[in-house]
Structure 1
Amino acid sequence: MSGLVKKTFIPGRGEWKLAYDLFSPTSIGSNPPLVLLHGLLGNRKQNRHVAKILAHSLQTPVLIPDLTNHGDSFHRSAHSNALMSEDLFNLLKSPAIDPQYSGGYVLIGHSMGGKAAMFHAVNHPNDVLGVASVDNVPYKNPIEADSEFARFDRFFTYAKETLPTTFSNLAELDQKLKEIEPDKRFRQLLASNFKRSKLSKAIECKVPIEVLQQSLESLKVLEIEDSLKYYGPLLIIRALKSPFVGEIDHEKVSDHFPNYSTRDINTGHWVITEDGPGFVTIIDQWIRNQNLGNHQQ
């Protein structure tokens, strides 16, 4: 897309840093910069298209990192909202990012990224001008979502059993994944976590399977200290064909996010993939309608 400058960073071996793409328009407007976070087993590449559109339409920088233990970012021996927030904080305070983001930013997160964004907002409220959670809530997901978490669990178990097997290409991997997952869109998400080894030339997994599987139960909830509140705007985008949100518990949301609103979108859980234009429209309109930067903590 013309009028945008792209910067990419991928950490080297031993660097405890997050990989990211940063799209900056050549002409910056008055809207705050954005940070767009992916979900479990996602990565920044899946958000590049909408990031470029938002950067162009809102005339503001859009940062899309690979979260902890995902994509090209470094691996920890544990995985949690607190750790993702800590690593995001360090990225945003880095010399390469801070000049554009030091005045505050809007956090937008899908699924796991939504909970990470909300956790980050209550713990760093003076940095976050607004937060949008895409198909996730600031409390435990309803029991109806357990079947979706089970799909991830099946993949993790399957991956641990089959990782000793090498695949010559992604088509062969996809055929194997059909044994546990009939949905092509979900298989494509799973396959995005594999890459070709520079040494063996075989297809291998690039995320810490055991660590992520152990985190599954904790990712269903959002542990926030009772005293913490975020008074900036929170937008919850509910996917109507997804079980991850369901009927919103207004009291539980208001406990920590008294200034919240909701929007519905007629998709399944993979909102950005299923209706990228609809997602962009909701975010664009919401940001333009906010008085961002003037809330009091």
Structure 2
Amino acid sequence: MRGIVKKTFTPGKGEWKLAYDFFCPTSTGTIPPLVLLHGLLGNRKQNRHVAGILAHNLQTPVLVPDLTNHGDSFHRSAHSNELMSEDISNLLKTPAINPQYSRGYVMIGHSMGGKAAMFHALNHPNDVLGVASVDNVPYKNPRAADSEFARFDRFFSYVKQFLTNSTFSSLAEVDQKLKDIEPDKRFRQLLASNFKRNKVSKAIECKVPVDVLQQSLETLKILEVDGSLKYNGPLLIIRALKSPFVGEIDHEKVSDHFPNYSTSDINTGHWVITEDCPGFVTIIDEWIKNQKFGNHQQ
């Protein structure tokens, strides 16, 4: 996209760092920089297109990392909102990022990334100027979402049972095999994006720590924070009307931690950005341009 410089970092083997793309306009305005976080089993590649649009529209840098245990980032032996927040903090302190982000930033997270963003805001309120959570809430997801979490669980079990030691020549073969457990093409594409070709053996292999992520599923449904923590900056909850992840918003539970919140509905399923990128961008553009971002100390 004209006027946008894209920088990419991929950690070397053994480096405990997050991979990221950084979209930097050649000239910037007054809007704070953005951090855009993907959901469970997603990665930064799926957010590159929308990140470039937001950077262009808002004339501000947009950082798009691969979260802990995802994409090209390093693997931990556990997975939680706390660990993702810790690794985001470390990334934002690096010399390549810090100068533009030292005065604070706006976090936008989809699904798992939404809960990670809200956790981060509650624990780093001096750094976060605003939060947008895309199809997630700052409390336990409703029971209606259990069937969606079960789809991830089936995938993890299937990988361990059938795919770990299998030999595939292409991602298309992986997609074909995944039809055994997942009929939805869009979701299968997300799942298949977690495989890569081994540079030495040339075989297709899973690139995420399956056991670690499977064990984290129950904790990813909730937001475990100190009950006294409040984030006074703006929170936007974007609710996908065709998704069970939010449902009827429990306004009391939201305001317990986020008294300055608003909501916006979008007529999509859970994969909001993929299903309606223009609609998502419009919501974010309007919300950000209507904010008076400041420092939000506890």
Give the TM-score of the pair, scaled to structure 1.
Answer: 0.99
1:98-137 per-position Cα deviation (integer Å, ceiling 9, x unaligned): 0000000000000000000000000000000000000000
> 1:151 is matched with which residue?
151
> 1:29 is matched with which residue?
29
1:119-169 per-position Cα deviation (integer Å, ceiling 9, x unaligned): 000000000000000000000000000000000000000000121111111
3-state SS of 2:56 partner: helix
> 1:16 is matched with which residue?
16
> 1:91 is matched with which residue?
91
> 1:59 is matched with which residue?
59
> 2:118 is matched with which residue?
118
How far 1:295 moved relative to its partner? 4.4
2-side partners of 1:28 and 1:221: how far apart? 37
Equivalent pair of 2:3/2:25 in contact (CA under 8 Å):
yes
1-side partners of 2:17 and 2:171: how far apart? 28
2-side partners of 1:171 and 1:116: how far apart? 31
Q: Are 1:249 and 2:250 counterparts?
A: yes
2-side partners of 1:164 and 1:8: how far apart? 31
1:206-242 per-position Cα deviation (integer Å, ceiling 9, x unaligned): 0000000000000000001011100000000000000
2-side partners of 1:277 and 1:167: how far apart? 36
> 1:234 is matched with which residue?
235
> 2:292 is matched with which residue?
291
How far 1:296 moved relative to its partner? 5.1
> 1:277 is matched with which residue?
278
1-side partners of 2:190 and 2:154: how far apart? 14
2-side partners of 1:100 and 1:230: how far apart? 22
Q: Which residues of structure 1 form unaligned runs of 5+?
A: none
Q: Are 1:78 and 2:78 counterparts?
A: yes
3-state SS of 2:216 partner: helix
Letter of the 1:203 partner, please give it: I
How far 1:294 moved relative to its partner? 5.1
1:80-110 per-position Cα deviation (integer Å, ceiling 9, x unaligned): 0000000000000111100000000000000
2-side partners of 1:77 and 1:119: how far apart? 20
> 2:69 is matched with which residue?
69
Q: What is the number of equivalent residue pairs in this alignment?
A: 297
1-side partners of 2:295 and 2:192: how far apart? 43
> 1:199 is matched with which residue?
200
How far 1:170 moved relative to its partner? 1.0
3-state SS of 2:239 partner: strand
Q: Give the RMSD, CA atoms, in angstroms.
A: 0.7
Identical amino acids, percent of aligned pairs: 84
> 1:106 is matched with which residue?
106
3-state SS of 2:279 partner: helix
Give the TM-score of the pair, scaled to structure 2.
Answer: 0.99
Equivalent pair of 2:240/2:267 in contact (CA under 8 Å):
yes
> 1:189 is matched with which residue?
190
1-side partners of 2:129 and 2:167: how far apart? 46
Equivalent pair of 2:20/2:44 in contact (CA under 8 Å):
yes
User: Any runs of at least 4 consecutive aligned residues in structure 1 with deviations exceeding 6 A, and if so which?
Assistant: none
Q: Which residues of structure 2 form unaligned runs of 5+?
A: none
> 1:50 is matched with which residue?
50
> 1:178 is matched with which residue?
179
Equivalent pair of 2:85/2:120 in contact (CA under 8 Å):
yes
Equivalent pair of 2:232/2:260 in contact (CA under 8 Å):
yes
Letter of the 1:260 partner, please give it: Y
2-side partners of 1:173 and 1:257: how far apart? 42
3-state SS of 1:71 partner: coil
How far 1:28 moved relative to its partner? 0.6
3-state SS of 1:40 partner: coil
